[in-house]
């Protein structure tokens, strides 16, 4: 498993991470198999959020770690906060962040988080409040590294100006069949719809600032609309992916992950799977690199047009 060195302390994270959003739906033995499969292929990074399963996913993960006898220092644990579960709102207040982290640590049965992300933008964010919360968490040893999720460069700059530490991650949606992060640059100075840069150049900004992008929903074609692999809605894309997979003697899943990994930004892919085989198939992406010609062929097969 390739690793990415993140931040001034060179936190070494696996290029592929396991997202734990739905593990509360599994039987304990199935959770153990999923986590074991991840460890076996070299995944050391596990992504959580306090809203996943209303907190139960973190509890389920902690129970599995205990059954498997995994050591805390062998795992890099990330969780997210900022989406309120009691009311429909976002909340980056100091009070909410601190309370959320205490809950996360209790459910995960650990003393610290390796990474905390702010989950979705809060329109009422007060940067100085976030800075106070982050400073408190760092000083107390409860959180070691920080980042955001689904934020554009301006919001990140606004927050970073107030922070005593560097933001290290931004978790953004990206897949072969969902490419707004990439389209705007390719169609720059054109009048077509793809030229609209809806994210403010987030991918380039993160690369420029040394911020690691985490790609969520790497197999989805919309906002949880379904997977594109093997989907009849994407005949040309699957035809091309299957052919390239055959050429590399890997699965179509490996090609989908390799397409993300090929970008020079060194993107970390977050697998939101509950299937050990999907983890194993994804890990095949580590054995090769797509050529530039293959990358663009896949991009075009997804329905994208080069100007």
Q: Is the pLDDT of residue 65 over 80?
A: yes
How high does pLDDT run on average in the chain? 96
DSSP 8-state secondary structure symbol assigned to residue 271: E
Burial class (CB in 10 A: 0-12, 13-18, 19+), 277: exposed
Q: How far is CA 188 from the centre of its chain?
A: 26
The per-residue pLDDT for 9 is: 83
pLDDT tens across 123-159, in order? 999 999 999 999 999 999 999 999 999 999 999 999 9
Residue reference for tokens 């982050």? 134
The per-residue pLDDT for 223 is: 77
Rounded CA-CA distance 20/141 in Å is 24
Tokens (6 digits) for 63:
């129970």
Catalytic residue among 52, 112, 296, 299: 52
Q: Is the pLDDT of residue 103 over 90?
A: yes
Angle between helices 252-261 and 235-248 (to 10 degrees): 90
DSSP 8-state secondary structure symbol assigned to residue 239: H
Q: Are 50 and 103 in contact (CB under 8 A)?
A: yes
Rounded CA-CA distance 273/279 in Å is 7
The per-residue pLDDT for 294 is: 98
The per-residue pLDDT for 108 is: 98
**Average pLDDT rounded to a whole number, residues 98-127:** 98
Give 161's Cβ-side CA count (13 Å radius): 7
The per-residue pLDDT for 216 is: 97
* List of domains in the chain: 3-301 (3.20.20.100)
Residue reference for tokens 């209790």? 106
Rounded CA-CA distance 196/190 in Å is 9
Active site residue 296: no
**Average pLDDT rounded to a whole number, residues 4-9:** 92
Cα torsion 266, 272, 277, 279: sign: positive
Rounded CA-CA distance 172/227 in Å is 17
pTM above 0.75, yes or no: yes
Q: Is the pLDDT of residue 224 over 80?
A: no
pLDDT tens across 67-84, in order? 999 999 999 999 999 999
The per-residue pLDDT for 222 is: 82
Residues in the chain: 307
Tokens (6 digits) for 194:
């793809």
pLDDT tens across 232-263, in order? 999 999 999 999 999 999 999 999 999 999 99
Tokens (6 digits) for 140:
């107390």
Rounded CA-CA distance 64/52 in Å is 16
């Amino acid at each position: 498993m390739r690793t990415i060195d993140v931040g001034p302390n060179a936190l070494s994270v696996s290029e592929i991470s396991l997202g734990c959003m739905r593990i509360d739906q599994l039987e304990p033995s199935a959770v153990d198999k999923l986590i074991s499969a991840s460890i076996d292929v070299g995944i050391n990074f596990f992504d959580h959020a306090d809203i996943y399963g209303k907190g139960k996913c973190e509890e389920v993960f902690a129970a599995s770690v205990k059954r498997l006898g995994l050591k805390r220092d062998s795992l890099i644990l990330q969780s997210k906060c900022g989406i309120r579960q009691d009311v429909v709102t976002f909340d980056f207040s100091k009070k909410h962040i601190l309370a959320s982290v205490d809950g996360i640590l209790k459910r995960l049965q650990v003393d610290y988080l390796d990474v905390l992300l702010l989950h979705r933008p809060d329109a009422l964010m007060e940067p100085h409040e976030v800075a106070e919360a982050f400073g408190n968490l760092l000083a107390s040893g409860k959180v070691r590294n920080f980042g955001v999720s689904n934020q554009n460069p301006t919001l990140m700059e606004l927050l970073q100006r107030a922070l005593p530490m560097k933001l290290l991650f931004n978790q953004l949606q990206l897949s072969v069949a969902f490419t707004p992060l990439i389209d705007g640059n390719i169609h720059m100075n054109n009048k077509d719809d793809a030229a609209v840069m809806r994210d403010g150049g987030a991918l380039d900004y993160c690369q420029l600032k040394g911020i690691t992008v985490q790609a969520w929903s790497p197999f989805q074609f919309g906002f949880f609309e379904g997977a594109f692999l093997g989907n009849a809605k994407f005949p040309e894309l699957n035809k091309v992916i299957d052919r390239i997979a055959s050429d590399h003697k890997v699965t179509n899943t490996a090609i989908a992950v390799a397409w993300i990994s090929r970008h020079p930004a060194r993107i970390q892919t977050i697998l939101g799977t509950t299937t050990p085989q999907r983890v194993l198939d994804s890990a095949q992406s580590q054995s090769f690199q797509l050529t530039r010609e293959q990358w663009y062929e896949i991009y075009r097969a997804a329905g994208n047009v080069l100007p």
